[in-house]
Chains A and B, each alone.
Chain A
Amino acid sequence: MTKKVPLPLPDYPLNKHLADNNLLENIWTSILIIGFCILLGWFVKLAFEPKKEEKRGKK
């Protein structure tokens, strides 16, 4: 017979990076996130813009 896992275990810990506040890092990650969103937005634009010509691939 094994012992039961203690219930309840300690409360879930908080995100320890919440207190991090490096200005340069914040700016850099914001640029990264904005760039990421722009890239995805561009994919959507490409999907809905008219294609200019038809080109069939051959096997």
Chain B
Amino acid sequence: MKKIKENSSMLFWYAIVFTGIFSIWAVVNPEGLTSTLWGWVNLYHANFSWFTMMMPLIILGICAYLAFSKFGKIKLGKANEKPEFSTFSWLGMLFTAGIGVGLVNFGVAEPLVHYLKSVEGIMSGADAVSAAESAMKYTMFIWGLPAWAIYTISGLVIGYFAYSKQAKFLPGTPIEEGFSDKKWGKPVGKITNVVAAGAASLTMAASIGLGVFQVKNAVSAVTGWNLDGMRFSIIILLVLFAIYTTAAVLPVGKGMKILGDINVVVAVSLLVFVFVLGNSPFLMSFIMQTLKNTFLGVIPTSLESFSFLDKQWSFDWPNTTLIWWISWTPFLGIFIARISKGRTIRQIVLAGVLVPTLFLVVWFSVFAGTGFLDTIIGDGSIIQYIQDYPDDVYLSFIMVLQQLPLFQVTGIIFIVLILVFLATSATSSMISLSIITSNGPENAPVGRTLIWSIITTMVAFANVATGTLDGVRAVAVIIGIPYMFLLFLSISGMIRQLRHDTANEDYLNYQQKLGKERS
């Protein structure tokens, strides 16, 4: 007991020191930190962008292997374990924790940026129609199957050990347990925990800080109010802090579940509204076209390395975003594992990868499709805005809503959606940070959740106040690169353990035995 407490407080203090060093560096020398770290990120991209693009294909292949092999039948937990959450709530939490506010911020902006700037966009001389189609292919490559395969596998590796092997809910557990026969297994697992805790707090601080600016700009765009000055940023930060802290200290079945359910209902309502009042026949055919590009385009896009062309767009969008998804896996993995008890590996892989991807096909097709109509046959105001204001492209979502009736209502729904999405991702992050730095219990201790909520908000505040968000964002992206190796090592550890378990005994019998031992 004493040892568990010692381990727990050591990890907690390591994580605090890790977060503190980079946060102080970001505030004291923002330009130095930003240029150094983005320099490293670009150096990585220059040498390994071929791998970053191919990585999702490898992970999708591993997901397919796990789902359709004998391992697919293995349940996380006892053989007779029932899922803790309904499928609707499980998918809602998985989806909103994973995608968060990006769904709204990039729903219109991302496809239009690719339309304009990608290697197959109009900058390459492509015609408008093929540029629009390829823009959706790249958007869905970034947000679709690759993102969800990365998230799902990160949850699965932890969930398998936590529920089926009674191990701790820690990012380093798959390495520690999967390689328990290797001398390096334990130390590498512990390093993984520290890196994961630091990555989780800095990634979330960057997201919250960026979110404050986005909410402020959104409120300003919808209401026409002038919200310049720190006062409004502080108010927005406090509102967000109140929502995610309350949700994080409540049990997952209450706080996080309610936020996830609200998100799904509000997002689907807005989607239906735009579909019904927009050009539905076009949108329906655009959904089908995007569906084709999502599933048939994933392999060729993954193997695309743009050898002869200038790679800046590729570095800035597909490469950096795929690494950014990896930076989210330390806390998302813990959270996805935490909510997936009682589900089989096959269910988790199929539902976790396919359902969010299918929803995103519809979401991006409807919102970006409306944006493309304006671009190709309309007055072109949205694409003009994207070209003129590259740092505020996310406001293009509002421009789509403005073109439809009842903007006074949908504008407010838009602001609510941003706030709740941000709060949901932050909540899952606080819960995971608390679990990681408390030595991996199933339920996050309230006190530690509260501490992380305060620390992360303070880091976000320091960066908002000093305008140094780019530094923290750069740290969050750069951590994704070493973490990618740790994620692959974790996957290797899980496959090793699965092969070991299923080779030794009939696994369903083993699970039943485990159930009896526990009860």
Interface residues of A in 4-23 (CB under 8 A from B): 4-5, 7-18
| Residue in A29, A47, A56 whose beta carbon sits within 8 Å of that of B495 in the complex | A47
Flag if A51 contacts B497 (CB, 8 Å). yes
Q: Does B161 belong to the interface (CB within 8 Å)?
A: yes
Give the interface size bracket for B toward A.
35 or more
Q: Which 4 A-B pairs have the closest CB atoms?
A: A57-B167, A12-B124, A55-B180, A52-B181
How far does the Cβ of B219 sit from chain A's closest Cβ, in whole Å? 24
Q: Does A38 belong to the interface (CB within 8 Å)?
A: no
Q: Does A27 belong to the interface (CB within 8 Å)?
A: no
Flag if A51 contacts B496 (CB, 8 Å). yes
Main secondary structure, interface of A, reads loop
Q: List 10 additional contacts besides A9-B122, A11-B123; criterion CB under 8 Å.
A: A4-B384, A11-B125, A12-B119, A12-B310, A15-B307, A36-B51, A48-B496, A54-B500, A57-B161, A57-B168
Flag if B309 contacts A12 (CB, 8 Å). yes
- Residues of chain A within 8 A (CB-CB) of B124 are 11-12
- A50–B497 Cα gap in the complex (Å)? 9
Flag if A7 contacts B128 (CB, 8 Å). yes
Q: Does A1 belong to the interface (CB within 8 Å)?
A: yes
| Residue in A2, A15, A18 whose beta carbon sits within 8 Å of that of B384 in the complex | A2
Q: Does B63 belong to the interface (CB within 8 Å)?
A: no
Flag if A12 contacts B496 (CB, 8 Å). no
Q: Per-position contact with B for A28-46: 1 when CB-CB < 8 Å, else 0?
A: 0100110010011001101
How far does the Cβ of A1 sit from chain B's closest Cβ, in whole Å? 6
B485: nearest chain-A partner, CB-CB: A39
A57: nearest chain-B partner, CB-CB: B167
- Residues of chain B within 8 A (CB-CB) of A52 are 181
- Residues of chain B within 8 A (CB-CB) of A49 are 496
- Residues of chain B within 8 A (CB-CB) of A33 are 47-48
| Residue in B180, B384, B503 whose beta carbon sits within 8 Å of that of A53 in the complex | B180
| Residue in A10, A17, A32, A59 whose beta carbon sits within 8 Å of that of B441 in the complex | A59
Q: Does B513 belong to the interface (CB within 8 Å)?
A: no
Flag if B308 contacts A18 (CB, 8 Å). yes
Q: Per-position contact with A for B296-324: 1 when CB-CB < 8 Å, else 0?
A: 00000000001111110000000000000
A37: nearest chain-B partner, CB-CB: B51
- A58–B1 Cα gap in the complex (Å)? 11
Q: Which residues of B contact A (CB under 8 A)?
A: 46-48, 51, 116, 119, 122-128, 161, 165-168, 173, 176-181, 306-311, 375, 379-381, 383-385, 387, 440-442, 485, 488-489, 491-493, 495-497, 499-500, 503-504
Flag if A58 contacts B380 (CB, 8 Å). no
- A31–B288 Cα gap in the complex (Å)? 45
User: What are 16 A-B pairs at a CB distance below 8 A?
Assistant: A1-B379, A3-B384, A4-B379, A8-B127, A11-B123, A14-B310, A44-B492, A46-B496, A47-B492, A49-B496, A50-B499, A50-B503, A54-B500, A57-B167, A59-B166, A59-B167
- Residues of chain A within 8 A (CB-CB) of B181 are 51-53, 55
Residue among A7, A17, A39, A40 with the highest chain B CB neighbour number at 10 A: A7
- Residues of chain A within 8 A (CB-CB) of B308 are 14-15, 18
Flag if B47 contacts A29 (CB, 8 Å). yes
- A4–B115 Cα gap in the complex (Å)? 14
Flag if A57 contacts B176 (CB, 8 Å). yes
- Residues of chain B within 8 A (CB-CB) of A18 are 308
Contact flag A56-B165 (CB < 8 Å), given A9-B122, A51-B181: yes
A45: nearest chain-B partner, CB-CB: B492
| Residue in A3, A8, A17 whose beta carbon sits within 8 Å of that of B122 in the complex | A8
- Residues of chain A within 8 A (CB-CB) of B500 are 50-51, 54
How far does the Cβ of A15 sit from chain B's closest Cβ, in whole Å? 5
- A55–B440 Cα gap in the complex (Å)? 17
